[in-house]
Structure 1
Amino acid sequence: MKSVIRLFVFFYVSLLSFSLSSETILRVAHPAASPTKGNPFGASGTTPTLFYTSIYDRITDIDNNGNVVPELALSWKSVNQNQWRFKLRPGVKFSNGEKFTSETIKTVFDTVRGEAINARSWYREAPNYPRVEIVDELTVDIFTLYPSPLAPAYLSALWVVPHGHLNKVGLEGLVNNPIGSGPFKLDSWEPERIILSAYKDSWRKPKIDKMEALIVPDSSARYQALVTGQIDVAVAISTDQIDILEMNGHRAEMRNPIRTLVLVLKSNDAKSPFSNVKVRQAFNYAVDKETIAKILLSDLVKPASQPALPFAIGYDETLNPYPYDPERAIQLLNEAGYKNGVSFIIETVSGFIPNDTAILQKIASDVAKVGMNMEVRLITYPQLARNSTLGEMGGHGFIMDFTNRYADALKPIINTNHSCRGAGPWFCEESIQQVINEADKTFDLDKRIMLTKNIVKYYRDVAQSLFLFPLIGLEGIHKRVKVWKPMNDRFMYHLVEIHD
């Protein structure tokens, strides 16, 4: 109760500080801030991305249909299997006055490649681009280590910062001094409150004057702040809050799902019960995902059959989700040598997924019926980000996602610890790794799709994870906000319109 009172006092003071201003201000409550603050290369996951798009731009982007669309690059073409030529957007300036040119792109690549340890979100990707050559001021050639038919899609993950600033401060200097070409620039960054002002010369010109990002870990507190008019947008609300919002004239907006929610299972460790494929399969059979989707997620999504989502290259439409079959789960556990049951620990964060606590409680209840004792252990978001990057687990699994943001089912398998290629893989089987490597190094897109479908089917059949649902992002929007247009894992801040 004290924390809630303190939170509302904080909101009141925040509102009072702007009450004498005629500026239009967007107040957004996030569940967490990036653990690396203003350095976009040091963090990964949805939460940082939702914020960073207010400051930074990328080379390309992916739209809600999985198509690669222009951002700082207007067009691109393949010169050969290992070389792509990008034509850059003219007239772009960063908020410190620097001009965006080909040299900017080259400097970003060279810096990230050279400081891989400080660029966690790109440290596996950077070596795949060994060279960047400047053709002219607004044309750049990017070379790939292996044939890469989807390089333009992958570059939608690379944030762009001014080369002069980057040369001066390095990646670590971005922590407290982020500079981008996006619609806002940083005024101040405090633990619970980040203030940004409009960058009027951005090529994505904002329609509001200021933005205030408030860090509110508790989902209920974000919701209460929204319905009482203290904020304009509550990030990651629960599905059971939708009806009340709409009754009060507000609304909920669902982002296009680009990630598959899974419980990652520690199979690459002989001491883990999940090193046995039959235990992993039993886990998948033991969970009533249909009921969870219908009751706890308001039937907004259907159970996942595989890591990929339908818009991603490599999605296999012939695969079905594991059905709810407790008897089959018990049979598999018996065959695996666990006739007396099995115990394990799943780590999770709270407040990032609609109804996440209730979902995990339902999973634990379901699997208990077949003799699986699942202990849920709460960790922080920075711990989860670190563990997922390094492949470290305090338990036997943790809640995570397969990102489909590149519209490619293979990329998350290659770029994370979902395969032997990871820094600390939780799943590694040499037989399928050979297929993964072959798919990754072919420029023949049809062949790549065929191989990726084989990989996806294998992951489904051996129950590499507990495949749950497309991961929905649900925001509560106050009726003051007339225009709110999310696109995949980013908010289109420059399109926001507010009317009192």
Structure 2
Amino acid sequence: MYLKPILVGALLASTSIAPAMAQANTDITVVLSEELDLVEPCMATRSNIGRVVMQNISETLTELDVRGDKGLTGRLAESWEDLGEGTWQFKLRPNVKFSDGTDFDAADVKHSFDRVFSDQITCESKRYFADTALTFDIIDAQTINVKAEPAQPILPLLMSLVTIVPSETPIEFVRDPVGTGPYALTDWTAGQHIILERRADYWGEQPEVTKATYVFRSEATVRAGMVAAGEADIAPQITAESADNKALDFAYPNSETVYLRIDSQDAPTSDIRVRKALNAAIDREAFIGTILPEGTELAVAMTPPTTLGWNAALKPPAYDPELAKQLLAEAKADGVDTSLPIEIIARTENFPNVTEVAEAITQMLGDAGFNASVRMVEVAEHEQFYSKPYPESEGTRLIMAQHDNSRGDPVFSMFFKYASDGTQSGVADPKLDDMIAKASAATGDERSALWSDVFAYVHDEAVADVLLFHMVGLSRVSERLAFTPTIATNGQLQLSEIGFK
């Protein structure tokens, strides 16, 4: 059997857990699965950073309401208006200060975007803007016009991805982020903890949490045990095996899709038969209810089923190892070197049981005739393989990754994952480039229909990747807190949403 049993017994007894810090009734401890390598605001769309930074330290102009039905709401922008010809005007919130005491104004907005789009640093949030060029015109301190070329009908929604920093912030990654959020970073001791403390001068309503201490434990049973023992208050990610306390544990459908990125420019995966064989070789169903929780869904697209343009006609590839062998044999007969190495690169602690998933898939590929191996790496090293320029290799690499799209539109995924110039794309297909561009510019029913066509082309014609799972999140929350995880919890954890019973 491919799926190794997971050893959970006696982990708590054998693992040293530091004594709980003395804390006020309104201080909390959050135990995360992986340590942050950066606290850079322009990287806050990456889940491990976003859980600490996004809307806690640094805020965005707009925000999508995932707890209610308000849709897109203002954060640092009070309102916005479409002026036509690709230009939107944003009215900014007055009387807002950064944590260093300086005033927030339109110049900070312009600088924040200039910084994101600079070629001097590589910011995660830049990837979501596809090939859109933005021009900023400061009208006054609280008014800024943003022109998108080509015109971007959902530009206000895109504004929810870029955190705003002071105009004095250098164009380099920072260690001491300054933001307008309700909390300021007061201590980052690498390998130990990060501490955020509530700001008395925050422009909005004061949150109930006064201080949050983030600690890091790689074992899910340890994280769950810390909450159960009162040594932590929230463990945003635990495994199904650890979720054994109905009073404390929450399951929720999150917005993450797990997949293997194929580089279709490399041999042997440049041959579509090899890409189809990869998909046929994996028994996706075997993972659900074993090392992935019940409720996990098989993926047919990079985005979850709640996304605009979802194509319900698409079906997951059937598990058919004999077909995989046949396709490899056909490719080999036509001169494709199917013996070239295929290495799976997976990120440790990317999601619960990621190592077991990667190892099982590697074995499945080997049984189908692939020369497959797996390498587990930390988040910083994973980024070197995940984003362009990709390192050269003999044969090719399959990058196991988890992609978050909780904002409801494929534009936040499709360009940078599938366009020829996309920073995390393994595809170079002019027809697909044109389809993505047209869908991105469309509105209404036409936009939905065009995205549906893109989903079908990626799945059926390009066979662009190995889509695996739409994930289910499991969190453990202390009984003293009033907090329920949402679809956004994997990528951000807003302290202002946490109350006390």
Q: Same fold by TM (over 0.5)?
A: yes
How far is 1:475 from its partner? 2.1
Is the CA contact 1:156–1:406 (under 8 Å) kept in the aligned structure 2? no
Q: Does 1:371 align with 2:369?
A: yes
Whole-Å separation in 2 of the counterparts to 1:388 and 1:369: 26
Q: 1:386 is matched with which residue?
A: 384
How far is 1:87 from its partner? 2.6
Q: 1:217 is matched with which residue?
A: 218
Cα distance, 1:71–1:189 mapped onto 2, change above 3 Å: same
For residue 447 of structure 2, what is the amino acid of its counterpart? R
Q: 2:41 is matched with which residue?
A: 40
Give secondary structure in 2 for the equivalent of 1:396: strand
Whole-Å separation in 2 of the counterparts to 1:252 and 1:326: 36
Q: Does 1:188 align with 2:187?
A: yes
Q: Does 1:147 align with 2:151?
A: yes
Cα distance, 1:453–1:443 mapped onto 2, change above 3 Å: closer
How far is 1:331 from its partner? 2.4
Q: 1:397 is matched with which residue?
A: 398
Cα distance, 1:278–1:204 mapped onto 2, change above 3 Å: farther
Whole-Å separation in 1 of the counterparts to 2:41 and 2:472: 23
Whole-Å separation in 1 of the counterparts to 2:445 and 2:380: 39
Give the root-mean-square deviation of aligned CA atoms: 2.9
Whole-Å separation in 2 of the counterparts to 1:45 and 1:231: 23
How far is 1:425 from its partner? 4.2
Q: 1:55 is matched with which residue?
A: 57
Q: Does 1:320 align with 2:320?
A: no
| Greater fraction helix | 1
Whole-Å separation in 2 of the counterparts to 1:382 and 1:184: 26
TM-score, normalisation: structure 1: 0.86
How far is 1:253 from its partner? 4.5
Whole-Å separation in 2 of the counterparts to 1:195 and 1:92: 23
> Of 356, 359, 362, which aligns to 1:361?
359
Whole-Å separation in 2 of the counterparts to 1:411 and 1:304: 17
How far is 1:190 from its partner? 0.9
Cα distance, 1:373–1:224 mapped onto 2, change above 3 Å: farther
Q: 1:120 is matched with which residue?
A: 123
Is the CA contact 1:289–1:468 (under 8 Å) kept in the aligned structure 2? yes
Deviations 1:90-147 (A, max 9, x none): 443322223333333223223433x333242144549734321233443321111211
Cα distance, 1:468–1:425 mapped onto 2, change above 3 Å: closer
1:62-461 equivalences in 2 (<5 Å):
62-64=64-66, 67-113=71-117, 115-124=118-127, 125=129, 128-163=132-167, 167=168, 169-172=169-172, 175-191=174-190, 192-202=192-202, 203-243=204-244, 245-246=245-246, 249-254=247-252, 256-269=253-266, 272-337=267-332, 342=339, 343-393=341-391, 396-416=397-417, 418-423=418-423, 425-440=425-440, 442-461=441-460
Whole-Å separation in 2 of the counterparts to 1:300 and 1:116: 41
Cα distance, 1:43–1:498 mapped onto 2, change above 3 Å: closer
For residue 254 of structure 2, what is the amino acid of its counterpart? P
How far is 1:283 from its partner? 1.5
TM-score, normalisation: structure 2: 0.86
Q: 2:7 is matched with which residue?
A: none
Whole-Å separation in 1 of the counterparts to 2:442 and 2:243: 45
Give secondary structure in 1 for the equivalent of 2:298: coil
Whole-Å separation in 2 of the counterparts to 1:424 and 1:251: 34
Whole-Å separation in 1 of the counterparts to 2:264 and 2:495: 41
Give secondary structure in 2 for the equivalent of 1:296: coil
Whole-Å separation in 2 of the counterparts to 1:282 and 1:67: 41
For residue 328 of structure 2, what is the amino acid of its counterpart? L
Whole-Å separation in 1 of the counterparts to 2:108 and 2:13: 47
For residue 436 of structure 1, what is the amino acid of its counterpart? I
Is the CA contact 2:51–2:492 (under 8 Å) kept in the aligned structure 1? yes
How far is 1:66 from its partner? 10
- Which runs of 5 or more residues in structure 2 are unaligned? 1-10
Give secondary structure in 2 for the equivalent of 1:155: helix
Whole-Å separation in 2 of the counterparts to 1:225 and 1:372: 42
Identity of paired residues, percent?
Answer: 23
Is the CA contact 2:331–2:338 (under 8 Å) kept in the aligned structure 1? no
Is the CA contact 1:263–1:399 (under 8 Å) kept in the aligned structure 2? yes
How far is 1:158 from its partner? 0.3
Cα distance, 1:51–1:319 mapped onto 2, change above 3 Å: same
Is the CA contact 1:484–1:492 (under 8 Å) kept in the aligned structure 2? no
Whole-Å separation in 1 of the counterparts to 2:236 and 2:14: 20
Whole-Å separation in 2 of the counterparts to 1:469 and 1:423: 22
Whole-Å separation in 1 of the counterparts to 2:131 and 2:274: 36
For residue 241 of structure 2, what is the amino acid of its counterpart? D
Is the CA contact 1:60–1:72 (under 8 Å) kept in the aligned structure 2? yes
